[in-house]
Amino acid sequence: MTISFIIPVYNTERYLDNCVSSILNQGIDEDLFEIIIVNDGSTDSSAQIITNLSKDRNTIKYIDSENLGLGAARNRGLNIAQGKYIFFIDSDDYLFDNSLPNLFGYAASVSYDIIGLDWAEVYSDGSVTRKERKSSTYNSLMSGAEYLSKFNLSGGVCPYLFSASLLREKSILMPEGIYHEDELFLSETFTYAHQIVFVNQLVYAYYQREGSITNNKEEKQIRKRISDTIFVLDQLVSLEKRLHLNELQIKGLRRKITTLSVDFIVNLIRFRVDKEMVADKLHELRIRKLYPLPKAAYSWKYNLFLFVFNYEPCIVLASKLGLFKKD
């Protein structure tokens, strides 16, 4: 079996059928894949939709669970997955038409630790914004540590195929009960990966909807998102200390820690937190020796950010002005 698709579901009755159908309708031999759907305690009609979709289909495996969160739901799927590669899909997203046949042929013929795919943001008005990677990364074989040391690793786990054997060998699972579980999972898999490759093929459609985990702007969720970033930073620092990493792995992981610290500061500004909270959260970075941000030749954008926002009053002012705000 080539690919195990893992789809966690929580109250996405409007999108679920389209998500699953986008896999089934691509003309792939159903012996080559499985779809593992984990119902994470949905209170809408998602459970019935899953039941209908899985009826008379051995391809679809249905796990019913209490509401434990995204990370736990993905782990439930990982525990029973039998494919060579793991492909995580969020239940409000989907795959583009005719994107899988070539991918299946490619995945079956190679044995990489990670295969990166192209993705696009899709909006309710029908507009599509494709997110392409740097051209130099396509079809260039490298280690995950080399990629981390040269490029900013951002985004979620969905536009990737992960080697199931790598995840089992290194006992890599999703963190549970937190936001930003993708950041930790990606950082760990890339640190361990010996061979990764990116293919220039548009596969994954991120549907941008109000009410999703990513777009939730309630104050309670904002505060948890910020505190969970600190947790992830602690885990990444711990990862560097407790593993026997080579020089390139350390270099890549430190760059990832720095770019996540930048994202943390951006979110303080984007969510327009008050002066007291800015001071409190920057203090948390300082005691971890993550702020002020280190001087490094990552990019001119990083150097500009460093020049402006290594000065706390600039962060407070930018928060008041609502810079980086997402509408």
Residue 81 contacts by C-beta under 8 Å, 6 or more apart in sequence? 4, 6, 34, 36, 164
Average pLDDT for residues 148-174, to the nearest whole number? Answer: 94
Judged against a pLDDT cut of 90, whether residue 131 lies above it is answered with: no
Q: Write down the pLDDT at residue 135.
A: 78
Taking residues 248-253, report their average pLDDT: 96
Confidence of residue 296 (pLDDT cuts 50, 70, 90): very high
How far apart are alpha carbons 190 and 179 in whole angstroms?
19
Helix ranges restricted to H, 38-99: 46-54, 70-80
Q: How do beta strands 196-207 and 114-122 pair? A: parallel
Q: What is the pLDDT of residues 90-119, one digit of tens each?
A: 999 999 999 999 999 889 888 899 999 999
**pLDDT per position as a tens digit, 111-129:** 899 999 999 999 989 899 9
According to the model, what pLDDT value does residue 211 have? Answer: 57
Is the CB of residue 168 less than 8 Å from the CB of residue 84?
no
CA–CA separation, 144 and 147 (whole Å): 5
Convert the pLDDT of each residue in 303-313 to its tens digit: 999 999 999 99
Sequence letter at residue 30: E
| Bridge partner list, 5 | 35, 87
The confidence score (pLDDT) of residue 190 equals: 97
Section 251-279 average pLDDT:
94
- Whole-number pLDDT of residue 89: 98
191-215 pLDDT per residue, tens? 999 999 999 999 999 999 765 555 5
Can you tell me the distance from the alpha carbon of 215 to that of 64, in angstroms, rounded to the nearest whole number? 26
Residue 13 backbone class (left: φ over 0; alpha: ψ -120 to 50; beta: rest): alpha
Task: Indicate the angle between helix axes 247-270 and 181-192, nearest 10 degrees.
Answer: 160
For residue 92, which phi and psi values (nearest 5 degrees)?
A: -100, 0
Residue-averaged pLDDT of the chain: 93
pLDDT at 56: 86
pTM higher than the cut 0.85 = yes
